[in-house]
Amino acid sequence: MMDRVFYTKGHGTSNDFVILPDPDGELELTPALVAALCDRRRGIGGDGVLRVVRAAKHPSSVELAADAEWFMDYWNSDGSIAEMCGNGVRVFARYLVENGLATPGPAGLPVATRAGIMHAVVQGDIISVRMTTPRVYAASTATVGALTVPGIAVDCGNPHLVCGLHDGVALGGLDLTTAPVVDKALFGAGVNVEFVEPAGDLEGRDRHVTMRVHERGSGETMSCGTGALAVGAVALREAGLTSGSVAVDVLGGRLVITCDDEGAWWLAGPAVLVASGEVDVAALAL
Ligand SMILES: N[C@@H](CCC[C@H](N)C(=O)O)C(=O)O
C-alpha cells in the first residue's frame, strides 16, 4: 500500500480534477481511493481524477501507444470510470506541457482516452481539443421533480441527454441536487444530462446558450466539456447548420464548440493548474 501520493489540482471552467502522475502505471488506484481524494471535506476535492500514465503502461490504452505517449485514465468522483472527459483532456494537456512531459506538434498534442485519441492545441490560456464527432441518436426525456423535459441523446464517446427548456421554465430554478430520472433502458450505463436555455446573440458565434449539467458519477458540476459538445451539436442541428460555432455558458465560465468546414469538432476554453503537493493516503481513510 502506498503511503504518500503526489498530486496536482487543476480545473477547466471550474470542472475540477485531482491529477495523479503515475508514468509507469504503478499506483494502486481504487474506486475508494478516488472517492476519498475527490471528497471536498476530507480529501482534496474534485469532480474527478486524471491519472497521468504512459499509454504503453495501461491495459486500456496499450493499443494506442504508437500514436499517443500519454493516457488520461479518467475516474468520476464517485469512483466510477468514464470513457471520456472533455475538460479533463484540456487540463491533462496543460499538465503535460507545464511539466515538460510533452510538446504539442503541428497537429496538436495526442492524448489517449477510453474513447480514442484526442488532439489538444495550446494557445496561451485557451486549450482546444479536437473531439470525436458527436452522434445524435434518439429522443428521450429527463424528469426533475414534477417537470419532464424532452431531450435528445448524443454520444460523445460518453453518453449525454440534451434537454432544451421551454414554456418559461427557468434554468436557474432546477434542483439538480439529485440525478434527473431518465429512461434506464436507453441509458443502461447511466447518462450525463444537460439542461439548456437560449442566451442573447453573441458576435462571431452562430448560437449562444446557457447550460447546467448533472454528470453521471459526479453530480451537478460547474462545467462539462463533452456536455457542451453534445449541446453544441444539437444547437447547430436545430439551426440547420452543418458547420459553425456555439458559445456554451456554464456555471464556471464559457466553452466554445466549433464544427469546422472539414467537419472536425472542437472544444475550447481555459484550463489551469492551481496547486501541487503530497497526499497522506492513510489519513484519507480516517
Ligand atoms: N466533465 C467531463 C465529463 C466526465 C465524465 C462523465 N461524468 C461521465 O461519466 O461520462 C467533461 O468535461 O466532459
| pTM, full prediction | 0.97
Q: Which CATH number do you get for residue 166?
A: 3.10.310.10
Rounded CA gap, 109 and 202, in Å? 30
Q: Which residue among 50, 84, 250 has the greatest number of ligand 1 atoms within 8 angstroms of its CB, and so is best to mutate?
A: 84
Same domain, 139 and 257: yes
Give the pLDDT confidence score for residue 1 in this predicted structure: 60
* Mean predicted lDDT score pLDDT of the chain: 97
Rounded CA gap, 124 and 119, in Å? 16
Same domain, 144 and 119: no
Q: Which long-range contacts (CB under 8 A, 24 or more apart) does 254-262 make?
A: 254/13, 255/13, 255/223, 255/225, 255/228, 256/205, 257/228, 257/229, 257/231, 257/232, 257/233, 258/232, 259/232, 259/233
Same domain, 105 and 192: no
Question: Is residue 195 a contact partner of residue 174, using CB atoms and an 8 Å limit?
Answer: yes
Q: What is the Å distance from ligand 1's center to 96 Cα?
A: 20
Question: Is 273 a residue whose pLDDT tops 80?
Answer: yes
Catalytic residue among 38, 156, 163, 224: 224
Per the structure, the complete domain to which residue 199 belongs is given by 135-263
Q: Into how many domains does the chain fold?
A: 2
Active site annotation includes 85: yes
Q: pLDDT tier at 110 (50, 70, 90 boundaries)?
A: very high
Residue with cell 481555459: 270
What is the atom index within ligand 1 of the atom nearest the CA of 48?
4
Q: Which residue ranges have their beta carbon within 6 Å of ligand 1? A: 15, 76, 82, 85-88, 158, 192, 215-218, 221, 224-226
Rounded CA gap, 209 and 58, in Å? 38
In this structure, the strands spanning 135-144 and 109-113 are unpaired
Rounded CA gap, 198 and 162, in Å? 13
Same domain, 158 and 115: no
What is the atom index within ligand 1 of the atom nearest the CA of 215?
7
Same domain, 115 and 208: no
Same domain, 149 and 257: yes
Same domain, 122 and 208: no
Same domain, 122 and 190: no
Same domain, 69 and 119: yes
Closest CA to 14 of 58, 60, 48: 48
Same domain, 126 and 143: no
pLDDT in tens, 9-32: 999 999 999 999 999 999 999 999
What is the atom index within ligand 1 of the atom nearest the CA of 12?
12
Same domain, 119 and 140: no
Same domain, 222 and 156: yes
